[in-house]
Amino acid sequence: MEIQTTDTDCLLVIDVQNDFCEGGALAVPDGDNVVDLINRLSEQFNTIVATQDWHPKGHSSFASVHPGHEPLQQIDMPYGPQTLWPDHCIQGSPGAQFHANLQTDAFQNIIRKGFRAPIDSYSAFFENDHTTTTGLSGYLRERGIKRVFCVGLALDFCVRFSAEDARREGFETVVIESACRGINIEGSVAAAIEAMQNVGVELR
């Protein structure tokens, strides 16, 4: 895929980690198949930022810390609704590492998120309270970035919320659908696409 890019564009590579790929604790269907395309896209950008889910053991989003609950059930947390997940992307674990075939040398910044035990973090820009910032907006502005291209895993969670927040933070935002895969819980992929389009995200 060829994209016309400029120095004011950034490729945002979201959570292409072992636990979200085949054999991982929270494997996204067909997730491995984004890697080669993302590697090719990376060659077309001067600015590349990646995110990495980075949870402590016993994170509050894990179903295992909520007796009587199962993964993919939803509960209410102080910051709002929270989907519960299998234990995944534990700090320093093999599952938290980037996929072995992902070309990471060109990553200029890696945003680790979800490291605060009481709160989950889907977005590359804000934690799930929509208030606690990761600092990515400021970094991109300092670099003169105007447009963000989002790729990675999973389309209906971390990609969606990263893209929506990028748009709300004033960046032109594009999601490259062929370089994303979704979990699709009860139609969540379709809902994510609609939600992103409603805030002005372009899907290609």
Measure the CA–CA gap between 57 and 55, rounded to whole angstroms: 6
pLDDT digits (tens, 9 = 90+) for 128-183: 999 999 999 999 999 999 999 999 999 999 999 999 999 999 999 999 999 999 99
CB 123 within 8 A of CB 162: yes
Q: Does residue 143 lie in a domain region?
A: yes
Whichever domain contains 129, its CATH number is 3.40.50.850
Q: Give the number of domains in the chain.
A: 1
Q: What is the DSSP letter of 2?
A: -
What stretches of 143-183 show up as alpha helix (H) in DSSP? 160-168
Q: Does residue 108 lie in a domain region?
A: yes
Q: Does residue 102 lie in a domain region?
A: yes
Q: Does residue 19 lie in a domain region?
A: yes
Q: Does residue 87 lie in a domain region?
A: no
Can you tell me whether residue 149 is helix, strand or coil?
strand
State the residue range of the domain holding 24. 9-58+93-203
Can you tell me whether residue 7 is helix, strand or coil?
coil
Q: Does residue 84 lie in a domain region?
A: no
Q: Does residue 82 lie in a domain region?
A: no
What is the value of pTM for the model shown? 0.97
Active site residues: 15, 113, 158
Q: How confident is the model at residue 1 (pLDDT cuts 50, 70, 90)?
A: confident
